[in-house]
Amino acid sequence: MSTFMVEDVFRCPQCGYHVIEEVQENVTALSLVNAIGEGGDVAYSPTAVDCTDETECRYECFQCGEILVDEDGSPIRTTADLYIYLNTRQPTLSLPPKKEKRNG
């Protein structure tokens, strides 16, 4: 089991950007209200989207909106699938990051 930085291993197939955005479908946005003080001063906890099989999410390039798909062309829906995607589809994962650029 290994953990890696997405920015090190992800390159958008469309634009080459390195940030993945997680979008939860059927939910516009949510924040948890953690605390509230006099006058309505509210403290929020960071929104954490928990994408499981029961919660439809998709993953897309933060820059161009390219939706990440698996080998069958189905959109990736869970973090487990996302891990597999990054582990198998991104050739840079097994290489030392930023050492050498391959030009085709």
Q: Which one, 11 or 55, has the nearer CB to Zn ion? A: 11
Q: Which spans of this chain sit near Zn ion (rule: CB under 5 A)?
A: 12, 14-15, 17, 61, 63-64, 66
Q: Which helix (H) or strand (E) holds 43?
A: strand 41-45
Token pair 């960071």: residue? 46
Smallest distance, Zn ion to C-beta of residue 68, A: 10
Length in residues, the chain: 104
Q: Which one, 63 or 78, has the nearer CB to Zn ion? A: 63
- Using CA of residue 69, residue 70, residue 76, residue 82, what is the dihedral sign? negative
Are 49 and 24 in contact by the 8 Å Cβ rule? The answer is yes
Smallest distance, Zn ion to C-beta of residue 12, A: 3
Q: Which one, 18 or 55, has the nearer CB to Zn ion? A: 18
